Amino acid sequence: MTGFALGVDQEEWCGQLRALAVQRLRPLAEKGEPGRVNRPLLAALGELGLLDRVFASGALELCLLRESLAYGCTEAETALALQGLGAYPVLRAGSEEQRERWLPQVRAGRAVAAFALSEPGAGSDAAALALAATADAAAAGGGWRLSGEKCWISNAPEADFYTVFARTGEGPGAKGVSAFLVPADRPGLSGAPLDMLSPHPIGSLAFDGVPVGPRDLLGEPGRGFRVAMDTLNLFRPSVGAFAVGMARAALDATLAYTAGRTAFGGTLSDLQAVAHRVAEMATRTEAARLLVYAAAGAYDRGAGDVPRRSAMAKLLATETAQYVVDHAVQLHGAVALQRGHLLEHLYREVRAPRIYEGASEVQRTIIAKELYGAVAAR
């Protein structure tokens, strides 16, 4: 990638993905039940090798994958991304036994993964989580009992395993958090669905003395917060790519509609107010896309400013997508509010990314902290 321009092979691959999303994946998505895991869709993502690409690629390819799928089928994009989010900590920090047990099943779309970080009192402030992991003196070889609650967990309560972050107490704040791989059938673990504005399941999890041992640890005790942040630093730019894919779909729909819709003796595109608004939508979308791929490139290079770049990319892209989809609806008028219309769908889908994986306000806090930290270091 040179100057953030895609090569011919990359452009062709993205085009193939967009077509695949529309022709192969969207029909499966439309057969799914809102608020439930769409296992046939996951199986198709596995059969097509797309889930494998999530774990075999860098940030740049992940962003291309998510943007292209989002353009043609947001449900497929989200299903793929949630598999990556839930299982990436296993890839990066899991033992050989954990990776061999779960990752082939995740890649094939047979096992559903979930990332269980947020709690009722610790959403954006992840370091404040309270799920307690207390030492289990009765456990052979040592272990813990998990007690507490997780909330707003994507794929809960239907996931087959959860990457769970709990307070083991090695230190204050983030220093006392450990990560665990917890199978869904573990005694004491239960869940309930939440009725959310979302096509995929989101639920709460209750931990009533759930037993976990050293073999369930992801990485070292007290180092779980780093596992969570490493995962989010990769996936935040790709959330931006998801948003860019939605913005581009809304923009293209608007271009086609305003170029062909007659009004006031011409087409809508003849009206300066309309043309200028479309120009603004296109400019913001392109700017967001460039920032997303700059962040992805920085991640793949191992640059030191990845947290700032990731936060900037996620912030700008999700806010831009909201702007573009909203104005696309406005330019289409009432037709865009009909159930089943592309823009009605995108209008529902585009709101949540400004909140999850760190709300826009959290991204601004991260950016400012990184900027002032650099000043202090000088």
Q: Tens digit of pLDDT for each residue in 246-301?
A: 999 999 999 999 999 999 999 999 999 999 999 999 999 999 999 999 999 999 99
The residues facing 135 across adjacent strands are 144
Is residue 3 pLDDT above 70, yes or no?
A: no
pLDDT of residue 6: 74
Percent of the chain beyond pLDDT 90?
Answer: 84
Q: pLDDT higher for 106 or 139?
A: 106
pLDDT of residue 1: 39
- Amino acid found at 75: E
The DSSP code for 24 is I
d(Cα 257, Cα 328) in Å, to the nearest integer? 10
Q: pLDDT higher for 58 or 46?
A: 46
Q: What CA dihedral angle connects 7, 3, 232 and 59, to 10 degrees?
A: 30
> Average pLDDT, whole number, for the chain?
94
d(Cα 291, Cα 67) in Å, to the nearest integer? 13
The average pLDDT across 353-359 equals 91
Q: pLDDT higher for 332 or 121?
A: 332
pLDDT of residue 140: 72
Annotated active-site residue in 96, 100, 357, 370? 357
List domains and CATH numbers for the chain: 8-107 (1.10.540.10), 113-222 (2.40.110.10), 226-377 (1.20.140.10)
Q: What is the pLDDT of residues 186-230, one digit of tens each?
A: 999 999 999 998 878 999 999 999 999 999 999 999 999 999 999
d(Cα 284, Cα 287) in Å, to the nearest integer? 5
Query: E strand or H helix at 243, and its extent?
Result: helix 224-260
d(Cα 313, Cα 360) in Å, to the nearest integer? 11
The average pLDDT across 8-26 equals 94
- Contact criterion met (CB below 8 Å) for 124 and 112: no
Global pTM? 0.93
Query: E strand or H helix at 341, and its extent?
Result: none
The average pLDDT across 20-36 equals 95
pLDDT of residue 126: 67
Among this protein's residues, is 357 annotated catalytic? yes
The average pLDDT across 154-178 equals 91
pLDDT of residue 2: 40
Is residue 233 pLDDT above 90, yes or no?
A: no
The DSSP code for 111 is S
Is residue 123 pLDDT above 80, yes or no?
A: no
